[in-house]
Structure formats: structure tokens, C-alpha cells
Chain A
Amino acid sequence: MSLDSKIPSVQGRAVAVPGDDIDTDRIMPARYLRCVTFESIGQYTFQDERFDAVGKPKAHPFNDPRHRGASILVVNKNFGCGSSREHAPQGILRWGIRAIVGESFAEIFAGNCTAIGLPVVTAAAAAVRELAAFASVRPDEPVVLDLSAKTVRFGDRTVPVEMRESARTLFLEGTWDSAATLIGAMDRVRETAARLPYLAWSPGR
């Protein structure tokens, strides 16, 4: 893995999308899943939250010019629940977001984020509230998510963040692209397969 894969920290301006239980259908409506590549999907992130039925922009942080170019997304509880569609984190990443700070994340979504090199960290509700307020009042000022120190810094504040240690290791060491790691153990994979009783009797083998 190249040095470039290491993500010890993310620095950038922040944008907050408030609300609990924001599901992946809202992040990426199903009609934009009708595609065979992720290439052009970034533009549709939060599409139906950002535009009404006739295409008129709604008040949404992703439409707010003050947040153009923001790279740290701030969310609340259970963000990314629902469908496993990787199109949702892919859209967020291709929109320009490089890290997400929230109160909690749905598991499949968090796993997808890690798999594509998009760190997601959790923080206490009060800290998230504070960070969200900072993002909306001072949208031009930088926020620093430090994965080594497990903190997020904004203004004169430094607050602790949490991340599953296994995921944090992957970002610090630059090994979040799992394919190389997994392929490295194909002999062990074959040993494991050899002890699975059902592979011996399955007509589908």
C-alpha cells in the first residue's frame, strides 16, 4: 500500500446536515442506482432533500454557497441507516466530503465508508451540537479531525472523538483497501474451506 493511503487526519471546512435516522434512500434516491459505475453519482447526493418536484432548490446545507467546498460532514444519530447501497457513501465522497463526524452510524454504511477510505467518527451529542453550530456560524473556518489524537479541533475547541480501533488502524496505516490484505491469505482461505462440512456435500460446489 502506498504512503498516500494513510489518512492520519482530515482538515477542511465543515457542513452539518442535522437529523436522526437519515437513511441511504434520502442520501441517494434509488433512481440514481440505475447505473453500472459510480463515476457521476456525486452530483445526486441528497437530491430530493435539495430540490423539490419541479427542480427548485430547497434550503439544504448542501445547497448553501457558504458550504461550497466543505470536506467534513457533521451528522446526528444512526446516519446512513437502511439500504446497503454503497452509492450513498460514494456519492458523499464524490461530492467532496473526506470525513464524517456524527453521534452514531448504521453499521453497513460505516463499513462501506471504511472500505472506500472515508473515515467516520463518533462524538458525544453535545460535542456534535457544538461542532454543527460552529459549521453554520463560521463556515469559512477550518476544522481538523485528527485520527491519531482522536480529537476534532475547531475554533479554540478540541473535543474527543471515538472510532472503532480496527478501522482507525486501517486509516493510520493506510491499509483500508482490504483486497490486498485478504488476497494475501489465499492458502489459509483454502484451508478454511476444506474444513467446512457443507462444501463437501453441497450439490452446488
Chain B
Amino acid sequence: MGKTLLDKVWDLHTVRELPNGQTQLFIGLHLVHEVTSPQAFQMLREKGLRVAYPGRTFATVDHIVPTDQQGRPFLDGLAEEMMVALERNCREFGVRFFDFASGEQGIVHVVGPEQGLTQPGLTVACGDSHTSTHGAFGAIAFGVGTTQIRDILATQTLALARPKVRRVRVSGNLAAGVYAKDVILAIVRTLGVNGGIGFAYEFAGDTIERMSMEERLTVCNMAIEGGARVGYINPDRTTVEFLKGRPYVPAGKDFDRAAAWWLSMGSDPDALFADNVNLNAAELEPQIAWGINPGQTVGVTERLPRPEDSRNGSRAGLEEAYRFTSFEPGQEVRQIPINVAFIGSCTNGRMSDLREAARVAKGRRVAGGVKAIVVPGSQKVQRQAEKEGLPEVFRAAGFEWRNAGCSMCLAMNPDKLKGREICASSSNRNFIGRQGSPTGRTLLMSPAMVAAAAIHGRVSDVREML
């Protein structure tokens, strides 16, 4: 019987089985950012420990960075304190830091792949739930907490239980105006926000195989929104081609050797899965998560569900969503007006996302009263976008063009909603209060759909604008 990619990677990285049944697992790549790591470094200091494998931990700064005025010290004293702590920790413990001056700073889940740090066959951990993103390369990647960051820093290992694997096969050609974001929103909607507990999701099928690496990153990014701590895609030629020539990828003969090994790590054709799910993407329309979790999602031509219609999660959950949002059951999602449009985040802050949004924005104008911002996922993305003239396209349409960071995804920096504002957002979570206003509302959708909403001042069908 064959093995899944998860089993191959897990077995290779197993240091030992622990007496309680967990695995002590070697972590091939550890990524660090400023929010969840300072306490972990402090725990090391208190225990008098060093970082065991400093060459396998890499840091960047993303959550707290202002996307407009980036001069130091930051205006927010708490943000400055966190930045200083990260600088000190990286210096003291010998960790490579992709800071502003490096020109490589950005959202941790954008930086890892673009540096070629994220590779097939690795275990990847980071104190951030969206670490599942890196599974796009055929890595087993997952979010951890701060005490576990301490464990990784001190030993390069973690104590973990092996998840089961559910294969999610997606088939069919995506229509124009339908994107990877719509695929993963549809998956979360179908399987539920807690359907993935205990599972790693293997995303497979012809739709996934045709996707670029950037699209695959979008899909795996939101595995965690379905409750699956790990989401991955088997490595193929697309993966290998993407990695070629990146800073942390071997060159020459070593590259060929690496590529052969990467491809050998995919799930075997006769691998057995704990569960199988099939989805048809051919009929998929643009999706909008309208409620208070990413499973409360409808297609752009649909009406918001009635609480007694349980296809959108539990009745109590829907009732809570309506109490919070003040939207009406049965109303068309396209009637919902917006105040803010946000394009960016670890889900959708890469070049292809910005290009698709710019295609929609080009020659049009943001509706009056709508604040629209575009935030590249990294300095590298920013430079490439500038080379392609995208900032001019966005500015001409009335969007603001910002510096790289997490920005309005999570309200740890100056980019926040105010009061009851409604935001069309290309990020990953529409949780209550997520975007910085305890009463603000978030509609999740693809970057092109955000651009369309910005231009019309309400949720719109981007397929009519391409």
C-alpha cells in the first residue's frame, strides 16, 4: 500500500515516538514574526538555552508595520517595542531577519515561498495559523503557539499527534472571473469551519493541478479556516519551475537532485486516505463570505440564507451572524453596500492577485465615499508591481498604494475599520472585530471581486466587468 505525502514527510522527520503516543517531529523550516515570538525568546533566556539550529529559523516583520509612514521609531510605541524586541532577538540568537533594509521584508507567508525557503518534503512551522499556506509546495506546514515556538527554538522539534488525511478533489475549469479564492471559500462552505478538525487536507484534482503556485498558496492558506491545521498539494513540475533560481534553492546538479527528491515525496497513486471528498468547480461562481466566519458564504447571484436553511452552518450561528451584521435573511448579496475595500494579505497579496485587481480597476473609478487600499504582500511584490506600472493604474482609479504588511487583515497596525463600516476584503477572516472595529463588518472575496465592489460601492459580479 502506498503512502500519502503527509506520511512520507512525517516518517522522515520523526525523531522518536513519545511515551504518550505523540511524535517528536523535526521542523525543517521555522518562520518567525514579531507578534508570537518575543515571549518564546524570553523563555529561552530564562532557561539559559540557545537556538539549536539558528540556520533553520528565519524572521520577518509584518503584523504591526504601518503601511504608510514606516519611519522609526514607529508612531505606535507598543509596535516599536515589538520591533526592537525582534531585532534584538534575531541579533542575539543568530537568526536571519528579513527587515525593511533587506528589501525582502513582507508577510511571512509571502516571504518564505518567494525566497525559496519553503520547499516540498519539509515540515514547516510558524507561530501563525496561516502557516498552512506553505503546504502549496507539498510541505507539511502548520501554525503553533508561543510555547511551541520556544520548543522549536530550543530543539528544532515539536511534540505533535499525526493528523489523518482527507483528500479534497476539485475538478472542472474555472470560469473567467472565478479564482482560487472562490475555490477555497466553496470548500470551507461545503465542509464547514470545523469539518477539518483532526485532518490534514490534501487538495487534488485537475482544477488544483492547473493552478499556478500563487493560486495554490491561496487555497492552502485557508485550509485552517476549514478547521484543518494542515493543507497541502502534491509537488509537480509547476512547483519545481517556481522554485528554480530562488535565493535559498540549490543550483546546478544540486537542483536536479533536489527536484527529483521533491517529486518523489508526493502521495503514491495507491495511497489510502481516511476520507475523500469531491467538488465540481466548473459551475462555481464568485463567492462572498458575508457572515461572521468564512463558512457563511454565498455565491454572488445568491440571496443570504434563511436561518432555518441549514446549508450555511448551524441555525444559531446564522442567527448570531444576522444579529451582528444587521443584514437581512433573503436579501441579495449584491445589494450590500461597502465603505472600505482592502486588497492584500497572506491570502491574496501576491503579483497575480494585484494584476487581476488592476485589470478590473483600469480605466474605472472607485465609487464616492469608498476608501480603497492596495497592500502588496512583500517588498519584492511591491517592486515587481511598480515595475509593471500597477500603482499608477490603482491610483488613477482612486485606490491608495501602500507598503508591504498585513495591513487591514487583522488590526494590529494603523489600518483598521471604524464603527459599523463594511469592508470588501481579500483577506481570510470575517470574524467579529477582526478588522479592528468591534462592530465593523467584513465580506471576504477574491481581489478582483474587491476591486469590482470598490468601483460600484457595493458587492458586484466581477464577471460582468472583465
Binding site for B on A (CB under 8 A): 19-21, 23, 25-26, 29-31, 33-38, 48, 52-53, 77-78, 81-86, 89-90, 104-108, 111-112, 115-116, 164-167, 169-170, 173, 175, 178-179, 181-183, 185-186, 188-189, 191-193, 195-199, 201-205
Residues of A within 8 Å of B160, CB to CB, are 111
Which residue from chain A places its CB closest to the CB of B411 in the assembled complex? A30
Residues of A within 8 Å of B24, CB to CB, are 181-182, 185, 188-189
Report Cα–Cα, A105/B194, bound state, in Å.
9
Are A48's CB and B433's CB within 8 A? yes
Are A192's CB and B148's CB within 8 A? no
Q: A29 contacts which of B38, B320, B438 (Cβ < 8 Å)? A: B438
User: What's the least CB distance linking A158 to chain B, in Å?
Assistant: 26
Assuming the contacts A26-B431, A179-B150, A189-B26, asked whether A38 and B39 have C-beta atoms less than 8 A apart, the reply is yes
Are B145's CB and A48's CB within 8 A? no
Report Cα–Cα, A198/B144, bound state, in Å.
23
Are B193's CB and A21's CB within 8 A? yes
Having A82-B224, A175-B20, A189-B15, one finds 12 other A-B pairs with CB under 8 Å, namely A23-B293, A23-B431, A30-B436, A85-B35, A107-B197, A111-B144, A112-B145, A181-B24, A182-B155, A188-B16, A192-B15, A204-B58
Query: Which of B122-130, B275-283, B380-388 makes up part of the contact surface?
Result: B122-130
Which residue from chain B places its CB closest to the CB of A108 in the assembled complex? B143
| B309 interface residue (CB < 8 Å to A) | no
User: Residue among B131, B142, B438 with the most chain A CB within 10 A?
Assistant: B438
| B301 interface residue (CB < 8 Å to A) | no
Query: Which of B79-87, B173-181, B212-220, B445-453 makes up part of the contact surface?
Result: B79-87
Total A-B residue pairs with C-beta atoms closer than 8 Å? 229
Are B155's CB and A20's CB within 8 A? no
Are A77's CB and B194's CB within 8 A? yes
Report Cα–Cα, A173/B21, bound state, in Å.
14
Q: A166 contacts which of B21, B117, B148, B156 (Cβ < 8 Å)? A: B21
| B14 interface residue (CB < 8 Å to A) | yes
Which residue from chain B places its CB closest to the CB of A90 in the assembled complex? B146
Residues of A within 8 Å of B313, CB to CB, are 21
Query: Which of B47-55, B103-111, B344-352, B455-463 makes up part of the contact surface?
Result: B47-55
Contacts A/B (CB < 8 Å), 13 sampled: A29-B438, A31-B436, A35-B82, A38-B39, A78-B193, A78-B194, A84-B129, A108-B142, A166-B18, A178-B147, A189-B52, A198-B121, A202-B248
Residues of A within 8 Å of B150, CB to CB, are 179
User: What's the least CB distance linking A68 to chain B, in Å?
Assistant: 24
Report Cα–Cα, A35/B38, bound state, in Å.
9
Report Cα–Cα, A20/B158, bound state, in Å.
29
Are A198's CB and B127's CB within 8 A? no
Are A53's CB and B438's CB within 8 A? yes
Residues of A within 8 Å of B287, CB to CB, are none
User: What's the least CB distance linking B43 to chain A, in Å?
Assistant: 8
Interface size, chain B (Cβ < 8 Å): 93
| B134 interface residue (CB < 8 Å to A) | no
Are A82's CB and B429's CB within 8 A? yes
Q: A189 contacts which of B35, B145, B156 (Cβ < 8 Å)? A: B156
Which residue from chain A places its CB closest to the CB of B434 in the assembled complex? A25
| B367 interface residue (CB < 8 Å to A) | no
Q: B154 contacts which of A179, A188, A203 (Cβ < 8 Å)? A: A179
| B393 interface residue (CB < 8 Å to A) | no
Assuming the contacts A37-B39, A116-B147, A188-B15, asked whether A164 and B161 have C-beta atoms less than 8 A apart, the reply is yes
Binding site for A on B (CB under 8 A): 12-16, 18-22, 24, 26, 28, 35-36, 38-39, 42, 47, 49, 52-53, 55-56, 58, 63-64, 76, 78-79, 81-82, 85, 96, 117, 119, 121-122, 127-129, 131, 142-148, 150-151, 154-161, 193-194, 197-198, 224, 227, 229, 247-250, 254, 257-258, 261, 292-293, 313-314, 316-317, 320, 410-412, 419, 429, 431-434, 436, 438-439
User: What's the least CB distance linking A57 to chain B, in Å?
Assistant: 14
Report Cα–Cα, A178/B227, bound state, in Å.
24
Report Cα–Cα, A166/B47, bound state, in Å.
26
Residues of A within 8 Å of B433, CB to CB, are 25-26, 29, 48
Q: Which 6 A-B pairs have the closest CB atoms?
A: A112-B145, A86-B145, A78-B194, A84-B143, A34-B78, A115-B147
Are A196's CB and B20's CB within 8 A? no
Report Cα–Cα, A169/B35, bound state, in Å.
31
Residues of B within 8 Å of A85, CB to CB, are 35-36, 145
User: What's the least CB distance linking B20 to chain A, in Å?
Assistant: 4
Residues of A within 8 Å of B151, CB to CB, are 178-179, 182
User: What's the least CB distance linking B368 to chain A, in Å?
Assistant: 26
